[in-house]
Structures are given as structure tokens and as C-alpha cells.
Amino acid sequence: MRSHRRIQRRCTSLRVGGVTSITDIALRAGVSVASVTRVLDGSKEVRLATRERVLRAVMELQDAAERPTLDRRLPRSGTIGFIVSDVQNPSLPQIVASIENISYGTKRRLVLCNSDEDPERERGHLSDLVAQGVDGIITLPVGATVDSIAPFIHSVSIVCLDRRIPGLELDLAISDNRLGSDLAVRHLVELGHSRIALIATHHETLTAERVGGFLAALAALGIAEHPEYVRRGGDARQHSGYEQTLHLLRLAQPPTAILVANHLLMLGAMSALRDRGLRTPEDISLVGFDETPWSRLLDPPLTTVALPANELGTAAAHLLIDRLDRQYTGRPREVMLPPELIVRASTCAPAADSFV
């Protein structure tokens, strides 16, 4: 009886033009009204596949001519979801702290989820957060396709952080990745390097931006491009950095400097150089992306392209709060922040008697 009254309340609050949209959703999704109700109520007793069918049906109906409008007067949870792609990211504490400060200032709790660079896990977190009625979501997307996020964009406000998704118009806070590569390449060329390699991540748009900036900088400085010097790992983890570095070292003419696109890839690169008995920077110079607490503590301290972690988190949070509390309903906005090159002792001029 209580469940029946709850369904009636949902049908009343989701009514458009005299048509009960909860029924439309059920028909479109091919599930029962009770299943739709459980999804909308945030019940855990719903299979992931069913939940995704229901949420996709909502999106399709909202795009159709008979578009139902979800009543924004429905009670919200007072929470903001933050989905990170890798909880091991050493920049994460700064980003979380900046987002949580703003979330706390609006009397909302922050819910942290880790997709672990797994698109299916990312979809599951999105589905769960939407079902729980979070006020909004900030996500560091795993993939470069719309598949994971698109089914949810009409159900909740979503802001992307530091990774662009082509074809999906969402608010975005991002660092200037092309500029980051440019800064690193110019520094290495000024030191006298001409054989410069890049180990990139698996994320398509992130790689495109950093590789694009890398190649553009080489061209602008008159340095010959070596396609074999651009390596893309199967993922963004340490073993990929290790394997890609070994590949570069096996070339007939190995690079004298390597730009590494994230901290875990850098750990793999340093391990590979150590196992080969090579010294940094005497044998090969290293530049990393992402400033970490241990970058300056390494021996030698690491030259890095430092991304503005605090500012990125703050920008993403403000974009979301503008949607939630300040009635901003305009087109998606992009905030792009510049990185900074921090020069330390892991780079120097290439030795005349290089190991190659």
C-alpha cells in the first residue's frame, strides 16, 4: 500500500501534458512501472542493466517531441558525486580538497568514487549516483567516447574535469595540455636535445592534445619529427611506462630525453632506466607531467609540467554550483588553466659521449 502511494506521488510529480511520464519511461525501457519506480527511488535491488535501460529511456524521451521534464522540486540528497579515473593519482588530494571546500560551503557532502580507468565501472558509478539522487556529478572521464556519460546527462548536472569528450557538450575544467607539452619541448631543445621522445597515455583526447602540442613545438623549433619516438601505452599505469621506455631504448638511435605524460608512467620509465643501468640526467633527461609530493624528493629531483590541481578542482566545483544554486542554464562552458614548468635536476644538456 505504501509502495502504491509512492508510485502515485511519482506519477503526479512526473506528469507532462496529462500523460504520466513514468508509464512512458516503463514502456520505452521495456520494464515494469515498479522497476522504474525502484530506479527513481534509488533502490539497490535493481540490476545495473535495468537501471541503465531506465535512465537511457528517460534521456530518449526528453529528446523526443513529447519530452517529459523531471520535476526539479523532487527532494535531492544534499550530495555531490566525484568520479576519479585513478584513486592513486597523487594530485587527487589537492583536487578533492578544493572540491570538498566548495561543496561544504553549500552544505553538501562529497561522495568519492573510483572508476579505476574502467569504462564499465565508470558507468556503474554514474548509474548509482543518479539513482541515489545526487545534486550533481564531477567526473574525470575514463574514455574519450560519449557512451559512458551520455545516458545520464539529462538526469543530473555533470561537469568534466581535465579530460575532454568530443561530441558531448558539458561544462569542462581542463589544463592546457598542448601548452604543457610545448613548455617541456622548448626547455629540452634549449638544453641542446634534438632526439626527444614522448610516452603518452591511453586516453584519446588527452593524448591528442599532448601529442599535438609536442609535435607542434618540434616543428616550430625546426626539430625533425621521429614518429618512432611517440609511444602510446595501453593504459596509464606503471608497467606501460616501463615497457614503452624499454622500446625506446632498443631503437637504433634512442632518444636523449623523454617527456612522460603522467606520474605512473614516469615511475615505470625510471624503473626501466634503472634496470638498464642508465643515469638521469647524465645518460637521458626526463620531464614528467603532473607535479607530485615526491617529485622534488627524488634523486635527482624531477623536472615536471605542473598542472594546477587546486585551481582545476575549484573551477569544476564552481561550474557545477552555478548550475545547481545560481540558476545558470546557458550553454556549457570551458575553463582552461595554464600549466607551469618546474625545472629541476632531471634534465641537462645531452652528453657528447651519450650511451647510444
**Amino acid sitting at position 298:** L
Q: Residues 6 or more apart from 329 whose CB is under 8 A from it?
A: 323
Give the tens place of pLDDT for each residue, 91-105: 889 999 999 999 999
210 with 178: CB under 8 angstroms?
yes
pLDDT at 176: 97
Looking at domain 2-63, its CATH architecture is: Orthogonal Bundle (1.10)
Of the two residues 58 and 346, the one the predictor is more confident about is 346
**Range(s) for CATH 3.40.50.2300 in the chain?**
79-175+309-338, 177-307
pLDDT tens track for 38-69: 777 767 677 877 887 887 777 666 655 333 34
More confident residue, 318 or 326: 318
For residue 214, the surrounding DSSP H or E stretch is helix 204-220
Fold (topology level) of 79-175+309-338: Rossmann fold (3.40.50)
CATH code for the domain defined by 177-307: 3.40.50.2300
Q: Can you tell me the distance from the alpha carbon of 70 to that of 62, in angstroms, rounded to the nearest whole number? A: 9
Instruction: Please name which of 99, 94, 97 lies closest in space to residue 136, comparing C-alpha atoms.
Output: 99
Give 262's pLDDT tier (boundaries 50, 70, 90): confident
pLDDT at 112: 96
- The CATH 1.10.260 portion of the chain extends over 2-63
When pLDDT is cut at 50, 70 and 90, the band that residue 89 belongs to is confident
Q: How far apart are CA 305 and CA 291, in angstroms?
A: 7
Model confidence at 76, pLDDT cuts 50, 70, 90, reads low
Strand pairing report for 257-260 and 230-232: unpaired
pLDDT confidence of residue 88: 80
Higher pLDDT, 308 or 235: 308
Higher pLDDT, 214 or 169: 214
CA dist 11 and 22 (Å) reads 6
